[in-house]
Structure 1
Amino acid sequence: MAAEVQMVLYEDDSVQVQYVDGSRLQLSPCGSEFLFEKAPPVSAHPLEQPERIRQRTHFVISTYREQLQRALDFRNSFATCPFLSESIIPPEGKKRIFIDISEVRWPSLDADDGMICMQSGMVKISSLDGHAYLCLPKSQHEFTVHFLCKVSQKPDSSVVLSEKNNQVKKDKLVEKAGKICTYGQRLKNKENELHYQMMNSKEPLEKKSCVNGTEGREGLPLPDTKHTCIYTWVKQHWSVNSCPEEWKYPLSLALRFHNKMSSVAGIAVNVIQNRTLTSDVSEEGGKEVSVLPRALLLSCPVPHLHRWNFCNSLSLRQSDEEEYPYPELVKVVWYKGITYRLTHKNMNSIEIYPGDGSVFKSEGAYFGNYFTYCSIQEGSEEREEKMYSVHNLPPDRPGSLFSVRSLIKQATRILQHCAKTRLSLSHNYNICCWKMVPGTNDSNVLPLLLRELFIPNVGRFLAYSDDKVHVIFLDGITLTLNWNFGSLIEKRQVNQGLNLGWCKLTFPDGHDQLIQVEHPGPYERYVTTVISWCRRLTQTSQREMPTHPSFSVPEENWCVASELEKIQKFNCIL
C-alpha cells in the first residue's frame, strides 16, 4: 500500500491525497464519494489518460479501503462536519447507545470537576456526562477535542431526526416498543424502570446494553438494533486562535485551569497572558452547554455539484516562483509530516507544525511578513521564541530536524495563493454540496452591489456586499482588494478596514500581479486612490449606505465608459 506524500484539505472540506507511487485520491466535500486515479505505467503514452475509479464511500471495495480510511481520518480531524460511514469504521470503534447525544454540558467556572492536569503539562477537561473531552497541551497553540458522534445516516432514514420533532419521535418509539429506555437526562433517574421494561418485554432479550456516561463502558447490544444509535469517537484538532464556537467555553476552562496550576506551582504566567491566545475565549461564561457537530448524510443529496479536478502536487514543485494550482482556498496542508494550518476569518494567517512540538506563526501588520517561532525545552521547561523575517531567512543548519527557510517559503507561497484566491471575483460563489442541506448553511447568496461610482478621468469604482472592491481605471488596469466597510476608522489606523495586506492588479493584456498594499512600488497611485475611496465610503453611516446600486453619474460619462470598455475588450482580443 503506497504511503501518502501530501494531503490537502480545502475550505469546502474536500480532500486531495498524493501518494508515493504517483497515484492520487480525491474526496468530495461531503465525503460521500471519492475518485482514485491510478499512477500511469512507465510505458504509458504521454497523451494516455490515467485510469480513474469513482465509487461511493459507503460501498468502497477492499482495494481502496485503507487509503480511503486514512483520507477520511484526515478530513474529519479538521473538517466542520465529519463523515462517518458505518461500513468503514472498525468494529471496536462502534458503540450502540439508546440515547440521542446532540449536546454536552461542561463544568461551571467555579468548579474543578472533570479537570485533570497531566504530568506532561497537558490539561484535560471532560464533560459532565463523559461524552466529550478537550485536551490542551502545555504549548497552548492548538488543542484536540474528542466527542461521541452518531454515524452518517441515510437521507430517508427514520433515525435522522430534526431538532423540532426529535423528542416527539423518541416518545413514540418508547410507547411503541415498550422496552426502550427514556431519553435525555431522565436516563439516570429511570435506570430501574428501564431494567424492569427490558426484563418484562414479550420479545426474547438475550443481550442488554446501556451507557452510563463513560467512554469505555458498554454492554452487549440488543438483537433489535432498530431503535439503537451507532456512535463512534471523533478526534479533531483546532487552533487556539481560531476556535469554533462550540468549543470556546471548554477551551476557556482549560486556559483558566492551566494558569491556576501554573500559579500554584510558582511558574510565571505573564508570558501566556501577554499573548493573544485568550483574546476570543477569555470570557465564555453562561455557555456551559455545547452543541456537538453532527455527521453528514450517508449519500449526498446533490452529487452533481461534485467537482473532480486534480491539481499538480506540492512535491512536484521545483521553482519558488511557480504558483500553487489549488482551485480553492486551502485550510490544511500535510506534507511529509509537516502540517500547515490556515485561517481565513478576517485576515489570512498560517501556522506551521514541524512535528516536534514547536510552531511557526505568521505575524506582521497584515500577516505573512514575519514568522514567530515558539518551542518549549523538554528538560528545562523554558519557552523559546524567535522572530524570522520573510525577506531575511537564516541558512540551513546541518543536523537540524527541518529547514526553517524551506518551511517559511512554502508557507509564504500558500499565503499568497490564498490572498490571490480571495481577491478573485469568482471565489466563494460555487455552491458546496453539503452546505445545500437544509439547516446547515442558509447564507449561500450572491453578493450585492452596494455602491457604483464613475469618477471622470479616473475610472469606475464598485463595492460589493462581500467586502470586495473592484476598480476599473481608464488606462485599462483593474485593481481588486478586500475592505471591511463595517469597521470603524480611527485616526491612527487609516487602513483599519483592510482585510488583506495584498491587492491584485490586472493589466490590459490579461496578466495579473499580486502586490503588497504597504509597498506598492510603481503602482502606488492606483492603490492610494482606491484606499482613499474606501475610507470615504466607510465613514458613510450604515443608514446612508444604499442596498442597491446608485447611479448618480451623468449619462455622457457612462457612454464614454462603455466605449472605453469596448476598446479594452478589443485590445485583449488582439
Structure 2
Amino acid sequence: LCSLIVTDESVDIRYRNGARLQLSPCGSEFLLVKAADPRRHPLQPAEKVRQRTRFTISTYKKLMLAALAFRNKYAGQPYLPHELISAENKKPFFSIDSAVLWPEVSASLAEFGLGGEIIVRSEEGRAALVLSPSGEEFTVEFMCSLSSARNQHRSMQQMSKDDSYDRQEQASSPVPDNTSDHTEVVRHGRRNMRTMLTRPRSCSPQMISDGHQKVVLPSNNNASVSKVYQSTTVVQHHSCCAVAPIWAYPLSLARHHWAARFSKAKDVVDRGARSSNQSDKTINKLDISCEDRRSHVPQALPLTCPTPHRHRFVDLKTKEHTDLPTEMVKVVWCQGVTYRILSGPVSAVEVSPGDGSVIRSNRNLNSYFTHHKTELQSGLVKEVTYHLNSLPPDVLGQAYSVCSIVSRASR
C-alpha cells in the first residue's frame, strides 16, 4: 500500500492488511509487525518478528525480496546478501574494481527504446544509463559484487591496492629485481591472502562463498590472486535535478543525444539544458581525458552491520496507520506512484507516475506544479503547469488522477 525511505535510508512498508515492515538503514535487520488477528483479544499486542535479513525464513522471503529491491533502487549503497539472490541472477565477475569507463561524446552510440528512452552503455558493458523520454529522470543499471563480511571486504580492498601497487612497480621496472621494497610488497600480499584463508568463520557461515566462488593460489612467487566473484545487476532510479557526481558524465552523454533528437524544437532543448546543471558543464567538453570518463559505481554494503545496537525501529501500533509518515522521508511509493523529496535550501517534490512523465513542484511557489510529459505523435516534451486551486478534473479512461497525485504531493 505504501513504502517509504527515510533520510537515513531505512525502509518502512505498510501493507493493506495492516502489517508493517521496517528495514534497518544498513539493510541487515528487519522488524515485521504482523496484521491484527480478528480472533485475538483487543488488548493483546500485535505479533512481532525481528530477524536478520539474510537469515530470514521462507515465510518472509518474498516480503524481504520486495523490500530490498525497493531499498536498493533509491539508496546510495545496495545491500546484496547472497542467500536472498537466486542463482540465475548471479553472474561471475573477475574483479572487485568498481570503476567503469564511459565512451567519449564523439564516439558514443545511443540506443533508443520503444517508449522514447535513450540508453548509453559503458565501454566494457558493466553499466548502462537510461534517460526517460521527458529528460527529467534516469535509471542506471550496473554490475555489483555481492555483499561480503566486513573484515573480508577490507582485505579485498587492501589486496586490490597491493596488486595495483605491484603492477606499477612492474611497469616502472621491466627487469624484476630483488630489492627489499619489492620483497616487502610480495610478503604483504601473501600475508593478506593467508589472513583471508585462516580467518575464523564467526562473522559469516560461508566465508569463501560470500564474496567469491573460488580461490586459485598461483604456483609461482607472484602475490596476485585469481578469483571469480559473484555479482548481480543493480537498478537505481535518480532525478536529473539531483545528480550524483558519478553519474554526471554518462548523463551528459544521454542528454547530448536527447538534445540532438529534439534539435528542431528550440524550447525543448533550452528546457533540457536548464534541468541538469551538472551535466551542462560536461556536454560541451568534446575532448575529455580517460580519467574524467571513468567513474566508480556504488559498492554493496557488508553483510554484517558493525553497530547493530543502533538499530531503532519505530514501535507503533498497526491501528495508528496514518496516510502520510511523520519522519523526514526521502522517497515515498504509494499505489504505483513514486514521490521524491528533493532537498536543498528550498525543498521540492518530484512525482513519477510511471508513464515516463514527471510532475515537479516549484521551489519558490510551492502551490504550482509543472508536468513534463512527452506527446505520443510528435515525441516532443510538453510542459503543463497546475495550481492547487485549479487542478484538472479526472477523465474516464486516464491512467492516473492528476488531481489526486498533485494533492498528495503537496501534503
Same fold (TM over 0.5): yes
1:307 matched to 2:299:
no
State the match for 1:387 in structure 2. Answer: 385
| Contact 2:262–2:268 under 8 Å retained in 1 | no
Equivalent residue for 1:374? Answer: 372
Seen in structure 2, the aligned counterparts of structure 1 residues 92 and 48 have a Cα distance that, compared at 3 Å, is same
TM-superposition CA deviations, 1:394-450 (whole Å, max 9, x none): 44444433332221221111xxxxxxxxxxxxxxxxxxxxxxxxxxxxxxxxxxxxx
Residue matched to 1:294:
299
| In structure 2, C-alpha distance between the alignment counterparts of 1:309 and 1:158, rounded to whole Å | 31
Distance 2:62 2:376 in 1: 35
- 2: CA distance between counterparts of 1:398 and 1:107? 46
Cα drift, residue 119 of structure 1: 4.9
Kindly tell me: are residues 346 and 290 of structure 1, through their superposed partners in 2, closer, same or farther at Cα, counting changes over 3 Å? farther
Q: Quick check: 2:33–2:47 contact (8 Å CA) kept in 1?
A: yes
State the 1:353 CA deviation.
Answer: 1.7
Structure 2 residue 230 is matched with structure 1 residue 233: no
1:166 matches 2:160: yes
Residues 103-118 of structure 1 mapped to structure 2, 5 A cutoff: 103-112=99-108, 114-118=109-113
Whether the aligned pair in 2 keeps the contact of 1:98 and 1:229 (CA below 8 Å) is yes
Partner of 1:74: 70
Please state if 1:407 is matched with 2:405: yes
Kindly report which structure 2 residues correspond to 1:457-496, keeping only aligned pairs within 5 A, or say none. Answer: none
Instruction: From the superposition, tell whether residues 309 and 330 of structure 1 become closer, same or farther in structure 2 (CA, over 3 Å).
Output: same
Cα displacement string for residues 85-116 of structure 1 (whole angstroms, at most 9, x for unaligned residues): 1110110111122222311111122322x432
Instruction: Look up the match of 1:123.
Output: 118
CA distance in 1, matches of 2:242, 2:49: 36
Q: TM-score, normalised by structure 1?
A: 0.57
Distance 1:160 1:78 in 2: 28
Contact 2:262–2:380 (CA under 8 A) maintained in structure 1: no
Confirm or deny: 8 A CA contact 2:111 2:118 kept in the other structure.
Answer: yes
Quote how far apart the aligned CAs of 1:277 are: 1.3
Shift of 1:390: 2.0
Q: Provide closer, same or farther for how the CA distance between residues 155 and 363 of structure 1 changes in structure 2, counting only shifts above 3 A.
A: same
Q: What residue is the counterpart of 1:473 in the other structure?
A: none
Match of 1:515 in 2: none
1:153–1:297 CA contact under 8 A, matched in 2: yes
1:392 CA displacement: 3.4
Structure 2 equivalent of residue 30 of structure 1:
26
Matched, 1:326 2:321: no
Which residue in the other structure is 1:337 paired with? Answer: 336
State the AA in 2 paired with 1:86.
H
Matched residue, 1:464: none
Q: Residue type of the partner of 1:334?
A: W
Which deviations, in whole Å up to 9, do the C-alpha atoms of 1:340-388 show, x marking residues without a partner?
11111332111112223322110152x5220012222323434332211
Is 1:151 aligned to residue 146 of structure 2? yes
- The farther-off stretch of 61-70 and 271-280 is 271-280
Counterpart AA for 1:157: Q
Cα distance in 2, alignment partners of residues 92 and 288 from structure 1: 31
Match of 1:256 in 2: 256
C-alpha distance in 1, partners of 2:393/2:362? 21
Corresponding letter in the other structure for 1:389: H
Q: Give the letter for the 1:305 counterpart.
A: R
Which aligned pairs between 1:43-122 and structure 2 lie closer than 5 A?
43-112=39-108, 114-122=109-117
- The 8 Å contact of residues 6 and 314 in structure 1, kept in 2 or not, is answered as no
SS of the residue corresponding to residue 16 of structure 1 reads strand
Once residues 91 and 159 of structure 1 are traced to their aligned partners in structure 2, the CA distance between those partners, rounded to angstroms, is 26
Equivalenced residue count is 351
Alignment of 1:140 with 2:135, yes or no, is yes
- Distance apart, 1:282 and its partner CA: 0.6
The higher relative CO (CA closer than 8 Å, separation ≥ 6) is in 2
Contact 1:77 1:237 in 2 (8 A): yes
**Residue 145 of structure 1: how far off its partner (Å):** 0.5
Q: Partners of 2:67 and 2:374 in 1: how far apart?
A: 31
Contact 1:101 1:148 in 2 (8 A): no
Letter in 2 for 1:359: V
> Contact (CA 8 Å) 1:360, 1:373: kept in 2 or not?
yes
Q: Could you tell me how far apart the structure 2 residues matched to 1:53 and 1:359 are?
A: 38
Which string of whole-angstrom CA distances, capped at 9 and with x for unpartnered residues, describes residues 431-489 of structure 1? xxxxxxxxxxxxxxxxxxxxxxxxxxxxxxxxxxxxxxxxxxxxxxxxxxxxxxxxxxx
1:499 matched residue in structure 2: none
C-alpha distance 357-312 of structure 1, shift in aligned 2 (>3 A): farther
1:428 is matched with which residue?
A: none
Structure 1 residue 82: Cα displacement? 0.6
Of the structure 1 ranges 146-155 and 283-292, higher mean CA displacement relative to structure 2 is found in 283-292
C-alpha separation in 1, matches of 2:352 and 2:318: 20
Task: Write the distance in 2 (CA, Å) between the matches of 1:56 and 1:334.
Answer: 24
Distance 1:46 1:407 in 2: 35
Deviation at 1:297, TM superposition (A): 0.9
TM-score (norm 2): 0.78
Is the 8 Å Cα contact of residues 119 and 131 (structure 2) preserved in structure 1? yes
- 1:206 aligns with none
Q: After TM superposition, give the deviation of residue 49 of structure 1 in Å.
A: 1.2
- Equivalence for 2:198: none
Query: Retained in 2: the 8 A contact 1:311–1:326?
Result: no
Aligned CA distance change for structure 1 residues 289 and 368 (closer, same or farther; 3 Å):
same
2:349 is the alignment partner of 1:350: yes
